[in-house]
Structure 1
Amino acid sequence: MAEEATVAIHDTKGTLGEIEVAPQVIEVISGIAANKVDGVYAMRGKISSGVSELFGRVDHKKGVHLTSSEEGLKVDIYCYFVYGVSVPKVALEIQEKVREQLLQMTDIELAEVNVHIVGIVPEKTELQELLDLDKEEDGEE
């Protein structure tokens, strides 16, 4: 998960002051961008986020993990794909969209966007079945 520190945007120490972006904001932007790509069924979350979605609350940063290293910021995206899509094509589009949105909205360039496909979902699978999959995965970790 991302550190609690903020990320400073390049060349902002002008006469007006600094601009800093919280890591949670980067995770939310990444999650929304990835979720809007055709072929992505859902983002991987914990049981609590799945239950929250049943009650109408959407956690846009679920399935997104931000880390900082010497090379820069890295985003790991965990998602389910729709059955029948081209996995490399959809994963590449996720990488491009996330990188593009973060650059456009925050002027932050990512060192890496890693896409982890945790499952392929047939068209008729319901949300409850995905929650059961998360429960099994959480028990194994």
Structure 2
Amino acid sequence: MAKDRPVAFDTQDNSTLGEINITTGVLENIAAKAASEISGVLTTVPKLEAGKFLRIERTGVVAKMNQENGRISIDVSVRIRYGYSVPEVAFSIQDRVKEQILFMTDLVVNEVNVHILAIETDSYSDQEFLQLEEEYGEDSKIETGV
């Protein structure tokens, strides 16, 4: 579906002052932003080596909108952090996306399909662990003051 394709807009208010057009790209951006605000959702994806060289950035949240017979459905693809409950994150995404689109555009979303692409570990903590291992050696024990 093209990003600049207008979506039929039926306002809840009966007064009309003119025509309002909202493109699918706007709805997709609202959905992606709303999903990225949920705790546990990764907003950026680690770059591949070629991506680092070419300075290509990938986003962790992708939203696609479909409209059939006046019904709006949104597919949201996300990566989540390890340690978060997948169903809880998915339900939170569904609620947040529907709520934000209704609040910002007065359009009712009939369904929000959440696709979990991956469960990612925090790359920073892995890198810190490897640095500690290199400094102190594999066999040495690091005591923490807990």
The code of the aligned residue for 2:57 comes to: E
**Per-residue deviation at 1:68?**
1.1
Counterpart in the other structure of 2:5: 5
Report what 2:17 is aligned to: 16
- The corresponding residue for 1:109 is 108
SS at match of 1:42: coil
Any gaps of 5 or more consecutive residues in structure 1? 127-141
**2:88 counterpart letter in structure 1:** K
Shift of 1:70: 2.3
Q: Deviations over 1:7-31 (max 9, x none)?
A: 1321477441111111100000000
Contact (CA 8 Å) 1:80, 1:118: kept in 2 or not? yes
Contact 2:3 2:25 in 1 (8 A): no
Specify the alignment match of 1:42 in structure 2.
43
Alpha-carbon spacing, 1:125–1:80, altered in 2? closer, same or farther (3 Å) = farther
Q: Give how far 1:106 is off.
A: 0.1
Please list the CA deviations of residues 83-135 of structure 1 after superposition, one character each: whole Å capped at 9, or x if unmatched.
01010001000000000000000001111100000000001269xxxxxxxxx
Amino acid at match of 1:30: A
Partner secondary structure for residue 95 of structure 1: helix
Residue in 2 that maps onto 1:124: 123
Contact 2:3 2:23 survives alignment (8 Å): no
Query: Would you say the 8 A contact 1:82–1:120 is kept in 2?
Result: yes
* Higher-Rg member (1/2): 2
**Other-structure match for 2:99:** 100
CA distance in 2, matches of 1:125, 1:116: 25
- Alignment gaps of 5+ in structure 2: 126-146
Q: Which of structure 1's runs of 4+ aligned residues deviate more than 6 A? A: none
Deviations 1:63-83 (A, max 9, x none): 111111126111001110000
Give me the identity figure in percent.
35
How much is the aligned-residue C-alpha RMSD, in angstroms? 3.0
Tell me what 1:130 maps to. Answer: none
Which deviates more from structure 2 when the two are superposed, residues 33-42 or residues 2-11? 2-11
Structure 1 residue identity aligned to 2:116: I
Counterpart CA distance in 2 for 1:43 and 1:2 is 24
Match of 1:28 in 2: 29
Aligned AA (2:120): V
CA deviations on 1:27-59 (whole Å, 9 max, x unpaired) are 000000000100101367xx88x94438xxxx6
